[in-house]
Copies of this chain bind each other. A is one copy, B any other.
Amino acid sequence: MSYQFDDDTRVREIETGRFTAELSSRWLVGPALSGGYTMVVALRAVAASLPHPDPLSVTGHFLGPLAPGPADIVTQVVKRGRTVSSGQASVSQDGRERLRLVSLFGELADDPTPLLMDGGPPDLPRPEDCVGNEPGVRNGFGVPMGDEFLYRVPPEDGGMIVGRPSGEASARAWVRLADGRDPDLLALVAIVDALPPVIWEIGVSGWVPTLELTAHLRAHPAPGWLRAVARTRFVQGTLFEEDAEVWDERGRLVAQSRQLALTPG
Contacts and interface: CB of A to CB of B under 8 A. Distances in A.
Interface of chain A, main secondary structure: strand
Given A169-B118, A211-B84, A260-B216, A237 B61 contact: no
A79 B79 CA distance: 23
Contact of A116 (B84, B214, B232, B238): B232
Interface in A111-151: 112-119
B100 A102 contact: yes
A240 B64 CA distance: 32
27 contacts: A56-B211, A56-B260, A57-B61, A59-B212, A63-B86, A64-B79, A64-B81, A79-B97, A84-B211, A86-B100, A104-B212, A104-B260, A109-B238, A115-B236, A115-B263, A116-B235, A116-B240, A117-B234, A118-B231, A118-B234, A119-B233, A212-B214, A216-B239, A219-B236, A219-B237, A234-B253, A256-B258
Contacts of A56: 211-212, 239, 260
Nearest to A103: B61
Contacts of A57: 61, 211-212, 260
Interface of A: 56-57, 59, 61, 63-64, 78-79, 81, 84, 86, 88, 90, 97, 100, 102, 104, 106, 108-109, 112-119, 169, 202, 211-212, 214, 216, 218-219, 231-241, 252-253, 256, 258, 260, 263
Contacts of A202: 116
Contacts of A106: 211
A256 B84 CA distance: 25
Contacts of A86: 61, 63, 100
Please indicate which of the listed interface residues A79, A113, A116, A263 has the most CB atoms of chain B within 10 Å of its own CB: A116
Contact of A114 (B214, B218, B236, B252): B236
